[in-house]
Amino acid sequence: MIQMAGYLTLAVALVILGVAAFVYARARQSVPNGNASVYRVRKYYAAALAVALLGALAWSLPHTPYGAYSSEEPAMRVEVIGRMWFWEFKPSDGSSADSLVIPLGKAVEFEVTAADVNHGFGIYDSEGHLVGQTQAMPGYTNRLRLKFDEPGHYSVLCMEYCGMVHHMMINGFTVR
C-alpha cells in the first residue's frame, strides 16, 4: 500500500512535469486560438479524473479501519493508555503487561486512550512497517482492531507530538 502510494505520486509528478516541459516548449509558438485543443483535452481529463476518483472512493471506503473485524469477538482486548511519556498496557486477560503477548492470526482490540495530552498509538512490525494506528486522546477511547499474521516483536511508537520526550515514547509487544 505504501509503495503503491509512492509510485502513484511519482507517476503523477512525472506526468505533470512532462506536460509542463511540453507546454514550456510549445508556448513559444504563436498561433492565434492555438489553445483550442487544450480545452478539448480538458474534457477527457475531467472525465478520466472523475472516474478515477469515483473508482478510488469505491475501492477505498470499504477499507476504513473503523469497523474492522466488527463481526468477530476479539480474542483479546488490551487497554492502552498514553502518558507523558510512556505507553501503559492493560491486557483484559490479566496477563503480564511488561511482556505483552498477542495471539497470532486472531482479531485483537486495542482500547486506546490518554491520561494527559494527545498521543498517537502507532504499531510497527519488526521490519519497520507501520501496520496500524489510532489517536490516543484524553476522555475518549478509540478502538483499533487488528489481526497480526506475522509472529515477532512489534514496536509501539508515538505518532502525535506530545512534548519534550515524544520521540522516545516507545514500547512494544510480542505476537505469537
Closer CB to another protein, 64 or 96, in the complex: 64
Query: Which of 87, 162, 171, 173 is in the footprint of Cu ion by CB under 5 A?
Result: 162
From the list 74-82, 88-96, 100-108, 139-147, the region that binds another protein by CB under 8 A is 139-147
Q: Rounded CA gap, 58 and 61, in Å?
A: 6
Residue 80 touches Cu ion, criterion: CB under 5 A? no
Tell me how far the alpha carbon of residue 168 is from its chain's centroid. 21
Query: Which of 105, 129, 149, 151 is in the footprint of another protein by CB under 8 A?
Result: 129
Q: Look up residue 63 and give its three cell numbers.
A: 477499507
Residue 55 touches another protein, criterion: CB under 8 A? no
Q: Look up residue 89 and give its three cell numbers.
A: 498496557
CB of residue 166 vs Cu ion: minimum separation in angstroms? Answer: 4
- The site for another protein, by CB under 8 A, has a size of 82
Which of another protein, Cu ion, none does 144 bind, CB closer than 5 to 8 A by kind?
another protein
Which of another protein, Cu ion, none does 51 bind, CB closer than 5 to 8 A by kind?
none
Let me know the angle formed at the C-alpha of 140 by 137 and 146, rounded to the nearest 5 degrees: 85
Sign of CA dihedral 76, 77, 79, 82: positive
Considering only residues 59-118, where is the footprint of another protein by CB under 8 A?
Answer: 60-61, 63-67, 84, 116-118
Closer CB to Cu ion, 81 or 158, in the complex: 158
CB of residue 158 vs another protein: minimum separation in angstroms? Answer: 8
152-2-117-97 Cα dihedral, nearest 10 degrees = -10
Q: Please, which contacts does 91-100 make with residues 24 or more away whose CB atoms are closer than 8 Å?
A: 99/173, 99/174, 100/173, 100/174
Within a 10 A sphere around the Cβ of 104, how many other Cβ atoms? 15
Residue 158 touches Cu ion, criterion: CB under 5 A? yes
Which of Cu ion, another protein, none does 48 bind, CB closer than 5 to 8 A by kind?
none
